[in-house]
């Protein structure tokens, strides 16, 4: 696989799931907390699954816009993607994640919206990174 990298960033985490994470430019600086459902204390911090959900949903909107340009379909400003990310033990050992994306494309006929979502799923870097490794569900709102 060959990738022509156009942008690189980095982040540093300290303390694991009950620590902190900060991007190299400081734009992201978050407190992390393990959810009670995973045996942690909960708390005011975010967690890696929430960060993944936010990143995947935002990136998928970008992919929808690229697909829209390619298909000559205007993507409405009100486009939204809800990403639901799950985590749990895998039958094979270790832990795995799941992702379900619900896309809202107001004003786009259903058939076109379905085609846009499928095209975006082929374009989105998160979709490409997870393909074959993570169960990803796609739905229209």
**Whether residues 34 and 63 fall in one domain:** no
Name the band, by pLDDT with cuts 50, 70 and 90, for residue 123: very high
**Whether residues 38 and 88 fall in one domain:** no
Alpha-carbon gap, residue 104 to 91, rounded angstroms: 33
For the domain that residue 26 is a member of, what is the CATH number?
Answer: 2.20.25.10
Sheet with 29-31: strands ordered across:
11-14, 20-23, 29-31
User: Is the pLDDT reported for residue 101 higher than 90?
Assistant: yes
* Residue-wise pLDDT tens digits, 21-37: 999 999 999 999 999 99
**Whether residues 29 and 57 fall in one domain:** no
């Amino acid at each position: 696989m060959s990738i022509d990298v156009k942008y690189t960033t980095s982040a540093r985490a300290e303390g694991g799931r009950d620590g902190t994470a900060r991007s190299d430019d400081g734009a992201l600086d978050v407190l992390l907390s393990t959810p009670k459902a995973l045996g942690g204390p909960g708390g005011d911090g975010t967690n890696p699954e929430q960060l993944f959900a936010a990143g995947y949903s935002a990136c998928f909107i970008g992919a929808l816009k690229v697909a829209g340009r390619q298909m000559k379909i205007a993507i409405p400003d009100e486009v939204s993607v809800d990403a639901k990310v799950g985590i749990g033990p895998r039958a094979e050992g270790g832990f795995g994640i799941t992702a379900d994306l619900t896309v809202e494309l107001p004003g786009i006929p259903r058939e076109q919206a379905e085609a846009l979502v499928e095209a975006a799923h082929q374009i989105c870097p998160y979709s490409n990174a997870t393909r074959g490794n993570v169960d990803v569900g796609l739905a229209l709102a």
